[in-house]
Amino acid sequence: MLESEKEFALSAVQAAAAICRRVQSGIALDSLDKKDRSPVTVADFAVQALISGLLAEQFPDDALVGEEGADQLREASAEELRNRVVAEVQAARDDDPTSETVLNWIDRGQAAGGAQGRFWVLDPIDGTKGFLRKEQYAIALALIENGQVQLGVLGCPNLPESMDQPTGPDAGYAFVAVKGQGTEAAKMPADGTLGELSPIAVSSSDDPASARRCESVESGHASHDEMAQIAEKAQMTGEPVRLDSQAKYATVARGESVAYLRLSPDASYTEKIWDHAAGEIVVTEAGGVVTDLLGKPLDFTQGRGLVNNRGIIATNAALHERVVRATAEVLGF
């Protein structure tokens, strides 16, 4: 089941990772450049165009819910940015699509999603802040059918074998999960190769005290204080590891952290499906549990957002109930 979709998603994400790496290598961390957000903008648009174009060719009937749209790029004043995006897409393909074709591919990602039918979900670069800091980011691609995530791929070009190692030239992993078939990981280093896929599983530990959890680097995305209170209540006393992007889901899936908590400091913020669809299936197929703060499954049927959601609890199976209970106590549910 979904063999050709799985192969497609892995190779599309791998091609996207090459764009990301090339663009990221042009960021000079110690120069005035560091206030320049344009590299991530170029890579965001180029990756969405590339993957959307490949999808249009291989699965022309499937819609795409992608984070980006081309409105900004169509403005006359965006000519330089537009040319950089088109050049990246052309370099990644054997042919030379026109600028209009590239913009139309990006805009194919404006589908509404919903409860019916089959569509893909793409976050071309998740963790844009991490990308700019040359830390963690992910290319996240998922397939949803009738509201259920069926397939997810996370490409994490800067993820080392273990979070205790610095990221280096050997870093890079791809994770793939298919409903009912488990989660696999393969090395995806900068040399452009993809290693052998092998199964991964969440941690089996039920000891909260020895457990390591992870959370966002950005306090604007997740309330570090409230999450610390929840962790304390659950007796998860270890220091949290902070990393950007859905690489957090990947670390839970491979058993390196036992929990990923996410609680937006902004109660009016609506989480987006592209920030969670691939991560959710990567964790659940590895044996973990992913819910909202009330312990209910994430609802991917409501369009581009996860409506009525205030946050995420992704853990191994053994600790999930404990974290849901601690969350209810701290937040007063």
Ligand X SMILES: Nc1ncnc2c1ncn2[C@@H]1O[C@H](COP(=O)(O)O)[C@@H](OP(=O)(O)O)[C@H]1O
Binding site for ligand X (CB under 6 A): 67, 123, 125-128, 216, 218, 220-221, 244-245, 264, 266, 269, 272, 275
**E strands along 167-223, which residues?**
173-178, 182-187, 198-200, 213-215
Minimum CB–partner distance for residue 94 and Mg ion (Å)? 26
Is residue 275 marked as binding? yes
Residue 128 annotated among the catalytic residues of the structure: yes
Interface with Mg ion includes 184 (CB under 5 A)?
no
Q: Does 126 participate in binding Mg ion (rule CB under 5 A)?
A: yes
Beta bridge partners of 123: 140
The binder of 216, among Mg ion, ligand X, none, by C-beta within 5 to 8 A per type, is ligand X
Please state the φ and ψ torsions of residue 329, each to the nearest 5 degrees: -65, -45
Nearest by Cα to 6 from 68, 47, 64, 59: 59
CB 8 within 8 A of CB 2: no
Alpha-carbon Rg for the chain, nearest whole angstrom, is 19
Shortest Cβ 222–ligand X spacing (Å):
6
C-beta separation of 139 from 124 below 8 A = yes
Q: Which stretch binds Mg ion (CB under 5 A): 52-60, 91-99, 108-116, 124-132?
A: 124-132
User: Residue 54 CB, nearest distance to Mg ion (Å)?
Assistant: 18
Q: Please identify the residue of the shown chain whose CB is closest to the bound ligand X.
A: 216
Verify whether residue 62 is a known catalytic residue: no
Give, as ranges, the residues between 51 and 90 that touch Mg ion (CB under 5 A): 67
Structure tokens at 247: 């690489």
Choose the catalytic residue: 41, 128, 251, 315.
128
Q: Which residue type sits at 263?
A: L
Tell me how many helices (H) and strands (E) the chain has.
10, 14
Catalytic residue, from 41, 44, 244, 251: name it.
Answer: 44
**How many whole angstroms separate alpha carbon 221 and alpha carbon 255?**
24
Q: Does 123 bind Mg ion (CB under 5 A)?
A: yes
**CA end-to-end distance (rounded Å), the chain:** 40
71 vs 79 by CB, closer to ligand X:
71
Least separation in angstroms between residue 276's CB and Mg ion is: 9
Residue 61 burial (10 A CB sphere; 0-12, 13-18, 19+): exposed
Q: Should residue 275 be labelled a site residue for Mg ion when binding is judged by CB under 5 A?
A: yes
Is 125 annotated to bind ligand? yes
Q: Pick the closer one to ligand X by CB: 5 or 67.
A: 67
Q: How far is the CA of 128 from the CAs of 124, 148, 275, in angstroms?
A: 10, 26, 12
Contacting positions for Mg ion (CB under 5 A): 67, 123, 125-126, 275
Residue positions annotated with a catalytic role: 44, 128
Annotated binding site for Mg(2+): 67, 123, 125-126, 275
